[in-house]
Structure 1
Amino acid sequence: MKGIEIERLARIHDFHEETTVAHMMNEVHDKLKFTDYIQF
Structure 2
Amino acid sequence: METVFDGSKLGIEPYDVEVTQGGELLVMDSTNSNIYQIALPLS
Asked if TM exceeds 0.5, the reply is: no
Q: What's the TM-score once normalised by structure 2's chain length?
A: 0.17
Larger strand percent = 2
TM-score of the aligned structures, taking structure 1 as reference length: 0.18
